[in-house]
């Protein structure tokens, strides 16, 4: 029996190769997985043209996944440097990479990325349109926007951010409810500007069915962009954000009618006490579709440290139902991240995702922590390094300050609780002051 997309296969009762791989990775019964894909509660972004993809599932009951943003820009045009970031992202076990390229030979970089990456690849086609056509934004036609989407799909992109929720009604709501930071989504601001400059409906909303046809043809997962996500804690959970979320819920159902897989993108900047409520709203209004969040960034005063503000929000968001975390680096709001920034962002986001998986009760999530705790109790340093989320940094810290006695560290020395409890429980003298 033939199928067009993972959702189509699931609804026909078929088990795809991608489902088998995800089932094994997640230790979940493949028929349970298939059923959740059929309902839209899990997506497996897997473009038919991404031949070396190592597929991942995103959604209910699965491990929280993380995404890494990278790409070339006019101010930092260096394809080789971005490919180094790709290699590092794969090495650090990111499940997804988004190409946010907005200048120059984006097609060359995108194709190279798809060819290289075993992780799923996402893009935001509107970023590419201006450079691809070498036109001012207002002069790009509706058909030209759709042609870029098809080009990305044909190149093997697994998921695409499409800002279809900011239609004329949402835009009017935004204008009537003033914000401190306006529209901070880059794609959202471009769509809003195009609408205002041309006096027309959002082409991604007006021609949404045509976009779905493209996604179905290549099995591209549509990631419904949050054009009205809050860019400050002042603007979170306001009328614009919620109206757009309602529209995204409607667009989700339309996508599922064509067997197109969907993810919903979410905030943004948001105070701690609003996060759980926002996760519940998304799941209710968007019918349980997987939720993909940036952060949330929980305070606006920490430029240079936004990988931390984001990890705090991400852990809370994922423990309350978010399924996919977009990393944030220390360079957020400041500049294009370099390789070190990217590593810091990935590690912080992976910690947040894992902490949330423990809270969500994901099967096997605690096993890693229990192994680390046993290695600590045994003072097995090599095992601790092996289990560390960043072994390189753990080894470096240890080697920079070696203790006099191997069974301790330079913080506690022979007063180390692990050392002394091990000795006492083995019937030995702890000899703190004697050699």
Q: Return the half-sphere exposure (C-beta side, CA atoms, 13 A cut-off) of residue 137.
A: 19
φ/ψ (deg, to 5) at 203: -60, -30
Q: What is the rounded distance in angstroms from the CA atom of residue 57 to the CA atom of residue 179?
A: 36
Q: What is the rounded distance in angstroms from the CA atom of residue 131 to the CA atom of residue 134?
A: 5
Kindly give, in sequence order, each residue whose CB lies less than 8 Å from that of residue 426, ignoring residues fewer than 6 positions away.
none
Q: What is the rounded distance in angstroms from the CA atom of residue 8 to the CA atom of residue 257?
A: 10
Distance of CA 165 to the CA centre of its chain: 19
Answer whether 184's CB lies under 8 Å from 206's CB: no
Kindly give, in sequence order, each residue whose CB lies less than 8 Å from that of residue 175, ignoring residues fewer than 6 positions away.
none
| DSSP per-residue letters across 221-283 | EEEE--TT--SSGGGTT-HHHHHHHHHHHHHHHHHHHTT--EEEEE--B--HHHHHHHHHHHH
Answer whether 352's CB lies under 8 Å from 328's CB: no
The annotated binding site is made up of 69, 98, 127, 163, 185-187, 226-229, 265, 269, 292, 333, 409, 412, 416
The annotated binding site for substrate is made up of 69, 98, 127, 163, 185-187, 226-229, 265, 292
Whose tokens are 């349109």? That residue is 129
φ/ψ (deg, to 5) at 201: -70, 155
φ/ψ (deg, to 5) at 160: -130, 135
| DSSP per-residue letters across 299-367 | -SS-TT-HHHHHHHHHHHHHHTT--EEE---TTTTTS---HHHHHHHHHHHHHHHHHHHHHHT-TTHHH
The annotated binding site for Zn(2+) is made up of 269, 333
The annotated binding site for [4Fe-4S] cluster is made up of 409, 412, 416
Kindly give, in sequence order, each residue whose CB lies less than 8 Å from that of residue 378, ignoring residues fewer than 6 positions away.
422
Kindly give, in sequence order, each residue whose CB lies less than 8 Å from that of residue 270, ignoring residues fewer than 6 positions away.
230, 233, 236, 237, 278, 295, 296, 297, 298, 313
How many CB atoms are located within 10 Å of the residue 374 CB?
A: 13
């Amino acid at each position: 029996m033939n199928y067009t997309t993972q959702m189509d296969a699931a609804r026909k009762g078929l088990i795809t190769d991608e489902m088998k791989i995800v089932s094994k990775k997640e230790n979940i019964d493949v028929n349970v997985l298939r059923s959740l894909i059929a309902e839209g509660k899990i997506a497996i972004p897997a473009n038919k043209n991404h031949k070396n993809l190592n597929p991942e599932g995103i959604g209910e009951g699965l491990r929280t996944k993380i995404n890494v943003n990278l790409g070339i820009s006019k101010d930092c045009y260096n394809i080789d440097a971005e490919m180094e970031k790709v290699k590092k992202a794969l090495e650090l076990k990111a499940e997804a990479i988004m190409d946010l390229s907005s200048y120059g030979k984006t097609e060359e970089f995108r194709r190279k990325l798809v060819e290289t990456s075993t992780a799923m690849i996402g893009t935001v086609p509107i970023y590419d349109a201006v450079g691809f056509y070498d036109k001012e934004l207002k002069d790009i036609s509706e058909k030209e926007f759709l042609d870029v989407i098809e080009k990305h799909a044909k190149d093997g992109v697994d998921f695409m951010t499409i800002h279809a929720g900011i239609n004329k009604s949402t835009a009017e709501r935004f204008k009537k409810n003033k914000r401190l930071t306006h529209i901070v989504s880059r794609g959202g601001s471009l769509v809003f500007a195009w609408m205002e400059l041309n006096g027309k409906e959002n082409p991604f909303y007006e021609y949404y069915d045509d976009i779905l046809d493209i996604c179905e043809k290549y099995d591209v997962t549509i990631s419904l962009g949050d054009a009205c996500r809050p860019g400050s804690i002042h603007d979170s959970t306001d009328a614009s954000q919620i109206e757009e979320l309602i529209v995204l819920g409607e667009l989700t159902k339309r996508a599922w009618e064509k067997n197109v897989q969907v993810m919903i993108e979410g905030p943004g900047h948001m105070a701690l006490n609003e996060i759980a409520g926002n996760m519940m709203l998304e799941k209710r209004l968007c019918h349980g579709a997987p939720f993909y969040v940036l952060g949330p960034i929980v305070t606006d005063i920490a430029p240079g440290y936004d990988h931390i503000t984001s990890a705090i929000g991400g852990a809370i968001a994922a423990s309350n139902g978010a399924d996919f975390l977009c990393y944030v680096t220390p360079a957020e709001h400041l500049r294009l991240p370099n390789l070190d920034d990217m590593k810091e962002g990935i590690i912080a986001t992976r910690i947040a995702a894992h902490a949330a998986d423990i809270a969500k009760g994901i099967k096997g999530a605690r096993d890693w922590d229990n192994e680390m705790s046993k290695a600590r109790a045994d003072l097995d340093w090599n095992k601790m390094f092996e289990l560390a989320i960043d072994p390189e940094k753990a080894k470096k810290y240890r080697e920079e300050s070696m203790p006099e006695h191997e069974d301790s560290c330079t913080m506690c020395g022979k007063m180390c609780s692990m050392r002394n409890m091990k000795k006492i429980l083995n019937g030995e003298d702890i000899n703190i002051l004697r050699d």
